[in-house]
Structure formats: structure tokens, C-alpha cells
A = this chain, B = another copy of it.
Amino acid sequence: MNIKDIAKIAGVSTATVSRVVNNKQGVKDDVRNHVKKIMEKYDYTPNLVARGLVTSKTNVIGVFVPRFVDYYSPRLDAIMEYCNKENYAVMLAGSVGKFEGNVKSLNTLYEKQVEGIVYFVGKFDDENINLIKKISSKIPFVLVDQTIKNVEIPHILPDNYEGTRKILEYMYECGHRKIAFIGSPVYDIEGENRFKAYIDFMKEKDITPDKSYYRYSGKYSIKSGYFTAKLILEENIRNRPTAILAANDFMAIGAINYIKDIGLSVPKDISVAGIDDVPIASYYNPRLTTVKQDQYKIGKEAVKLVFDMIKGDKVKIKKIIMEQELIVRESVKMI
């Protein structure tokens, strides 16, 4: 049942049906009602693919998510909400474990004519970067969590350097000097910022932690936090840190699990802090002291930026830095 069928049955032209479907003016009320009745009777549904072809507006935006972890949930919520409001649909892409899928998946988004893309970065390689360059030169593209060196792309970045300093400052105020650090993957520029903040901070406080006190080999997962904590603590049995900062909440939770497994307790024996403030953080036991990235807001700003670019005539590169806020809860104690 298509627009032609309806037109024929209703005894009008397709143009008139189209006007009715799109609630456009210039149709007499009785004709409009008549057409509407026919559409209803025959369960007519407009084919938005066809419409998209002629208007070259698909009303779809693309979202790339490396994998589904709770970290992204509030962001996706924000995006869905915004898109619902704007009458856009969301098309998903993601690698889901396999790095190789990234390029193909992102390209598909583009080929399917999405009008803009929000890209939550997992990792990059050159192939990826080239594709991003190409796509971002043709349609609105917003990068979240990461930037690309020497390439101007609108992006939203949490202020990881300052955020990390804030939580370290707090730990320091709580009397901690022996602070270990569970860092993030080496491919992650922003992760490096967190690590850099740690190194800088310690230096400023005239503390020189042993090299075995910090590792930046974590993978942002609970498991990797567990094993990195194990690595650090096993190497420092005689010189146990009083506190551990993990580069994200999941790794902090992993560390807490390990500490519990060796019969110690957080924060009684060792304090642990995270970064991100994922949804579970405030309900974990102990409630996690962390640094809040307002994920919902990040998601919202990201889509908003895309829509600004879709609507606006001139697309000027925007860069948004999101401040991070110290969230004091239970997992770091005063010593």
C-alpha cells in the first residue's frame, strides 16, 4: 500500500496525499478528511526511505559506541531523548569487541546517509582516522572523549587532567602520600592525561613513588582493575600504598574486589578512588569516592552540537571541555 494506491482509491493525486501525510496547507478540509480516512482504512504508512531519497534528509543520526558498558548508558539516554524530541532516529554502530569492525561499521553509518554522527571513541588507528577525516568533512561529526592530533574536528572532552588533580588533591588532604595509580591503555590520549596529572601532582608534592606504584596498562574493565591492583600490591608488600587511584570507576571496583580477596578492606586498610562516577558508583559498597563526569550532559552536548551543525549554515569547529567535579563518598578515608 503506497501513496499511489491511496491516491487512486481516494480519487485524488499523489501530490494531495503527500500534502495530507505531511500536514501541509492547501488541501480543502473535506478532501483532507477523506484522504485521512482512506489512509487509516488501508493502514497506510509512508515509506520514509523513499522520502529520504527525494528530500535528501533521512532524519537519522548515527552514534558510534565501542561497546555497551554502563559508562555509555546515560549518554545514550541523553541522545535518545534529544533525538526523539527532534524527530530523529538513531542508528547505531560499534565494534563490539573486534577492533577491525570499527571502520566498516562507521562507514556503513555514512553510506546509510545519517545526517550527523556522534562518535564515542574507543581506540583509533590510522585507517580509522582517515575515515573520520573524510566523513567529518562531509557531514556533522562530533568526537567525544578524544581528539585527533593535527585535525580540526568538533569534540567534547572531559577535563581529565584537572579532574584527576582534584581527586589527588583530596586524597592528599586526607593524609595519603603513598598513592598508587592504575592507569589506562596506552592508546588512549585522554588516559595519558590522567596519568600525566598523577605524575605532575606527585612531583609537585615532592613525592617520588616507586615505579611499581603505577601502571598504565589497565583496560578500563573491572577485571583489568583487579589484576593491575594485584600486580601493584604484590610488588609492594613491604611498602603498601595507603591509597589507590584508578583511572576509571570500573577499575576501582576491580581493585576493591582484589583488596577484599586478600582479606583487606576498603577504606579501612586501603583507600580506593575512581574517575567517572558511573551509575553504580554511588551505590557500591563502599560508595565510591570519585570524580564526576556528567555523562548525561556530555551526551546531550554532543547531540546538540551535531544538531547545531545540521541546522546552522556555517559550521565552525567547536570544542567543549567538560569540567569534572569531586564527589566525596566513602571509599577514601582520612588517615
Residues of A near any B CB (own CB < 8 A):
43, 45-50, 52-53, 58, 60, 63, 67-70, 72-74, 76-77, 80-81, 84, 89-98, 101, 104-105, 107-113, 134, 222, 253-254, 256-257, 260, 279-280, 283-286
Complex: how many Å from CA A95 to CA B80?
Answer: 8
Given known pairs A60-B112, A113-B47, the reply for A76 and B68 (CB within 8 Å) is yes
Whether the Cβ atoms of A84 and B105 lie closer than 8 Å is: yes
Give the residue of B93, B111, B280 whose beta carbon is less than 8 angstroms from that of A48: B111
Are B109 and A96 in contact (CB-based, < 8 A)? no
Q: Is the CB of B89 within 8 A of A90?
A: no
The chain B residue sitting closest to A256, CB to CB, is B285
A135 to chain B, nearest CB (A): 9
Are the CB atoms of B111 and A84 closer together than 8 Å? Answer: no
What is the bound-complex CA distance between A176 and B248, given in angstroms?
38
Residues in B with CB closer than 8 Å to A256 are 285
Q: Is the CB of B45 within 8 A of A49?
A: no
Besides the known contacts A68-B73, A91-B92, A285-B286, 11 further A-B residue pairs in the complex with CB atoms under 8 A apart: A45-B111, A47-B53, A49-B53, A60-B112, A68-B74, A69-B73, A70-B280, A77-B96, A89-B92, A90-B93, A91-B91
Q: Chain B contacts of A60 at CB under 8 A?
A: 91, 112
Q: Bound state CA distance, A92 and B279, in angstroms?
A: 22
The A interface is mostly helix, strand or loop, or mixed, namely helix
Can you list 19 contacts pairing A with B, beta carbon distance less than 8 Å? A46-B111, A48-B111, A50-B53, A68-B72, A68-B73, A69-B73, A70-B70, A70-B73, A70-B279, A70-B280, A73-B73, A77-B97, A80-B92, A80-B96, A89-B91, A89-B92, A257-B285, A285-B285, A285-B286
A97 to B52, CA, bound (A): 28
Contact check, A89 vs B112: say whether CB atoms are below 8 A apart: yes
User: Whole-angstrom distance between the alpha carbons of A256 and B50 in the complex?
Assistant: 53
Q: For the complex, give the distance between the alpha carbons of A93 and B97 in Å.
A: 23
Complex partner residue of A110 from B45, B69, B74, B77, CB under 8 angstroms = B45
How far, in whole Å, are A312 and B147 apart by their CA atoms in the complex? 45
Is B89's CB under 8 angstroms from A101's CB?
A: no
